[in-house]
Structure 1
């Protein structure tokens, strides 16, 4: 495949140099939309919050009655009722708090569940170019720690905001009813709480954004160096110390940022606490004056100070919530950046699945897997074409071989067939229909691909084979493995088909993995088969078995074979020589040798190399 760059990942608004959070109404609406499926439970939470905010007013008001009526009147009966009423209000409020906590947890956990599912499904829809360009570990970070990081917003922050607003509103109204002069005096302190909040929000947002970026870097290092391929490379090049140092530096920077974020609000909280103590002092001072003037009772002053905590407490928490929400914006922005990527390759409004008589997805004219390229051009980046004017037809039941120097565009051609990339110009047709007129699922379900770098999941051989068709029975499974010349090997293993293959199939040799991959495609039984350098990295014995398996796989199919070793394509029905993004020559083996062009040059070099060995 030509490595001339990568196409755009998709249409995405993303600014790495963003300087400040944007808590816009559009983002707030977007966040609120996640509550819609749980609106009944959300309304229940709001109802509980209204009741608990009103119940919270009762104990201070009851204290006023105790001080002003029950104690001066030495009325034990009234005192008992007032104490019991206050206790009952407290118990009822606590019970409702338990219910609220359950509803909060239920809603937040399910919102995170929905968000993770949506993110995974969205990532599945993104083109190959996105995953070719994105840093390893970045996707995992956004799928896990970023989404987990905003769970607190749904479970606590938004509910706390609603709770504090209700408490603040009900308390303010009550205070004005009790004494409007003291109420106004109490409100004078409130601006002191909000003064440093905006600055603190920006600081914590900045630290949060930098922390998540460093966490992504850590995840990338872990995934690259502790994945089996990266691990082997690290060991073979003795780079353990270098990689450890890279991880240590990223970990140290993450720790530093987390400490700064955690401690950034300490002075802020100290100021809030100081401001919160000013209000009661003013109430005692001015309230005492009003008591001396006969305008206020002692019980009213005590109740007023008690209610003052319900006034300043929510204000202080709301300022904290503002800071926390600003911090969370960094996480929401990172998540929404991915959601806002528009897949460049997707089903259009007019694409339709095609079905065979048995109801399974298939190509137009189910048995016809013919492929045709008509004037196809493609570029990974606008300033340099990877393919130009590619035209050829591969008839059903024939084998078309693609040969040529590395980077000529052979793999790019094959990736246009299942729409891993889309053509820039021209058409790719399969079964007589433009591939863009078919749904991606129906198109790809009819194409089998075996690459040089075979991927096996870290499971059993059986699980890897059944990935092609979960409904396949044991008889079909064995038949596919016999055709791929791998059944006898599997039967010779202690656990047979239940043998674990290890990470990326590390417990198997290259030839064994290739034959299992071929058996997997045989089990799928698609009308179109693409083999991309399936034998280039194998020894002679393994190559022999894989070639036998390839013959079984290609029998009766439309085959597209990329081959480095020209000996594997001698019998191809047509050979296309690809050079610098164009088809330089075409014909059968003998015809191309007689032509004396690039194919003969490649053939002679390989022949000379073999003679030399």
Structure 2
């Protein structure tokens, strides 16, 4: 299913395909079947009023009425099944489409949208649209068909009574308009309240450990409690504003018999209307107006779901990193690839600059370290190198080819990254390791874990490599998670390795083990290391010093101590023990 334009309700209906038309057609026919027994009853009563009674006709009418009821229920089932099938299929393709969009979205998009926001859009909003479309289509078809067919019957029998049956409709519509004229804005406000609650609940859950550590009560988390309390007055105000119009609308749609019954009786007394025709009017008149109640429910739901569509379109319309045309893989650079920055500049939103005219090359068989004070642009360099961001000016190349011209799948095969924030999946140790190389055998896995100084602690686990480690490796220590991440990177064996200070949060024992593992990573490949502890990179083959988004020094440790004031200041700030300088 190809979605190449912003989402609208018309487009969603088109994407449902033939399931939409099957649902509509069966809903219309089933609605017509609702009036067949009433019409049959009318014919039977009319037959009873004649001098000669035909039992065969009575029996035939009863059989037709029974078949019509069975057919109606069968068609209702088909209509709802088709609508749900089409809506679920649409939800499936929408989730795939949004996932692909998010996969190509730049990192700046995720800075502006929290995880709870995206979860609500992809799960809650799509689920709401699925339920809306699955029920909206049959309800609208029935709500439109029943009044038309019912009014046609009354017009056929007696036109004045048909007019009387719909006399209250304009008044009911006016009352409902009073309630719905602010529905779009109210739906937007309700959506914002729900998103705000989801965000605050997510923040509260993430902060549970801190709350318990300080002995705080849940009601002391003011933002969460106040956000929840703010919903009650909004709902109360909403009910007050819409109560009068909604109650009047509901009552008027159910009250046309107040006019049809006495006026029809008076006309029968005057001889202007046959009693059997009056009976038909009494049976059909209520079903002419009551379906409008379901139609209003569907339209109100549609106004609320517009907010869901708007949030979905924020993802659909998000900027995307460029994807190159399909090229011959044989023409791509191979071997030990050098990463090059050539006059690269990047600007963050609402900030003056991230990087300015940055130029450097990694070494083909060596360690290139990036150092600098907090906010200098070190992490931005790592993100540009992995295409989490795309530069505004200049060029980033890998093996001489602009990384924007690399097919993404091939580019990510050439790069491995170990960051200070490790993410592991809820599964076994082996399953997490094989993410780096699914076709690896056990000998290759063990070789990688031994090089990463992780083999011994894995064997000490209850089930060894088959041990479940919990969500994000919750059953492992921070150092163990980091070494497992390094083993996964070693197993992948990519020619370019990017390290974002893998020892930033490690204790002294784990730091030594991780440094040993990093030494294994640096063998035979080009390595770019974002360093926050200077003592970890004093033996680097090349050190790039950045400050305020610019390269202010380049060389080896001893050279920079003599020639780079910024590096000298960093060295002095670190002290003899090489304490941690910053977190970013």
TM-score by length of 1: 0.86
Distance change in 2, residues 1:31/1:273 (3 Å): closer
Tell me, yes or no, if structure 1 residue 68 matches structure 2 residue 42: no
Q: Which of 396, 408, 413 lines up with 1:445 in the alignment?
A: 413
Checking the alignment, whether the CA contact within 8 Å between 2:47 and 2:54 is kept in structure 1 is no
Distance 1:421 1:610 in 2: 31
Match of 2:289 in 1: 312
Distance 1:32 1:381 in 2: 34
Match of 2:9 in 1: 31
SS in 1 for 2:257: helix
Distance change in 2, residues 1:169/1:476 (3 Å): same
Distance 1:403 1:326 in 2: 53
Query: Aligned-pair distance for 1:526?
Result: 0.9
Tell me, yes or no, if structure 1 residue 103 matches structure 2 residue 82: yes
Distance change in 2, residues 1:479/1:524 (3 Å): same
Distance 1:544 1:415 in 2: 27
Tell me, yes or no, if structure 1 residue 141 matches structure 2 residue 109: no
Checking the alignment, whether the CA contact within 8 Å between 1:456 and 1:504 is kept in structure 2 is yes
Query: Aligned-pair distance for 1:263?
Result: 8.1
Query: Aligned-pair distance for 1:484?
Result: 0.8
Distance 1:148 1:243 in 2: 33
Checking the alignment, whether the CA contact within 8 Å between 2:87 and 2:134 is kept in structure 1 is yes
Checking the alignment, whether the CA contact within 8 Å between 1:193 and 1:315 is kept in structure 2 is no
Query: Aligned-pair distance for 1:132?
Result: 1.7
Q: Which of 208, 218, 221 lines up with 1:231 in the alignment?
A: 208
Q: Which of 262, 265, 288 lines up with 1:288 in the alignment?
A: 265
Structure 2 residue runs without a partner (length 5+): 580-584
Distance 1:119 1:397 in 2: 40
Distance 1:290 1:250 in 2: 61
Distance change in 2, residues 1:414/1:494 (3 Å): same
Q: Deviations over 1:407-445 (max 9, x none)?
A: 211111121111111112111111101111122332222
Distance 1:114 1:311 in 2: 38
Match of 2:335 in 1: 367
Tell me, yes or no, if structure 1 residue 171 matches structure 2 residue 171: no
Match of 2:249 in 1: 272
Q: Which of 81, 98, 101 lines up with 1:122 in the alignment?
A: 101
Distance 1:389 1:245 in 2: 45
Match of 1:201 in 2: 180
Tell me, yes or no, if structure 1 residue 331 matches structure 2 residue 331: no
Checking the alignment, whether the CA contact within 8 Å between 1:150 and 1:331 is kept in structure 2 is yes
Match of 1:246 in 2: 223
Checking the alignment, whether the CA contact within 8 Å between 2:28 and 2:141 is kept in structure 1 is no
Tell me, yes or no, if structure 1 residue 59 matches structure 2 residue 37: yes
Distance 1:426 1:45 in 2: 55
Distance 1:271 1:554 in 2: 77
SS in 2 for 1:449: strand
Distance 2:471 2:168 in 1: 63
SS in 2 for 1:571: coil
Match of 2:451 in 1: 483
Tell me, yes or no, if structure 1 residue 301 matches structure 2 residue 278: yes
The number of residues matched between the two structures is 574
Distance change in 2, residues 1:52/1:506 (3 Å): closer
Q: Deviations over 1:63-100 (max 9, x none)?
A: 22222222554726143433343233223212222222
TM-score by length of 2: 0.90
Query: Aligned-pair distance for 1:204?
Result: 4.5
SS in 2 for 1:196: helix
Query: Aligned-pair distance for 1:190?
Result: 1.7
Q: Deviations over 1:344-369 (max 9, x none)?
A: x231xx4446636xxxxxx9321141
Q: Deviations over 1:107-161 (max 9, x none)?
A: 2333233323333332232221111222341111222222222333211122211
Tell me, yes or no, if structure 1 residue 346 matches structure 2 residue 322: yes
Distance change in 2, residues 1:92/1:73 (3 Å): farther
Distance 1:383 1:42 in 2: 48
Provide the alpha-carbon RMSD of the alignment.
Answer: 2.7
Checking the alignment, whether the CA contact within 8 Å between 1:52 and 1:96 is kept in structure 2 is yes
Distance 1:506 1:278 in 2: 63
SS in 2 for 1:96: helix
Distance 1:254 1:143 in 2: 23
SS in 2 for 1:92: helix
Match of 2:465 in 1: 497
Distance change in 2, residues 1:321/1:219 (3 Å): closer
Q: Deviations over 1:363-412 (max 9, x none)?
A: 93211411111111111136512211211111321211111222211111
Distance change in 2, residues 1:186/1:607 (3 Å): closer
Structure 1 residue runs without a partner (length 5+): 1-25, 357-362
Distance 2:153 2:147 in 1: 10
Distance change in 2, residues 1:272/1:151 (3 Å): same
Distance change in 2, residues 1:431/1:136 (3 Å): same
Checking the alignment, whether the CA contact within 8 Å between 2:436 and 2:488 is kept in structure 1 is yes
Query: Aligned-pair distance for 1:242?
Result: 5.5
Larger deviation: 256-265 or 172-181? 256-265
Match of 2:329 in 1: 355
Q: Which of 15, 28, 31 lines up with 1:50 in the alignment?
A: 28
Distance 2:83 2:235 in 1: 27
Checking the alignment, whether the CA contact within 8 Å between 1:210 and 1:257 is kept in structure 2 is no
SS in 2 for 1:536: coil
Aligned pairs (5 A) from 1:545-564:
545-564=513-532
SS in 2 for 1:578: strand
Larger deviation: 363-372 or 431-440? 363-372
Larger deviation: 176-185 or 405-414? 176-185
Larger deviation: 283-292 or 575-584? 283-292
Query: Aligned-pair distance for 1:469?
Result: 2.2
Checking the alignment, whether the CA contact within 8 Å between 2:176 and 2:249 is kept in structure 1 is no
SS in 2 for 1:251: helix
Distance 1:541 1:277 in 2: 78
Distance 2:217 2:389 in 1: 37
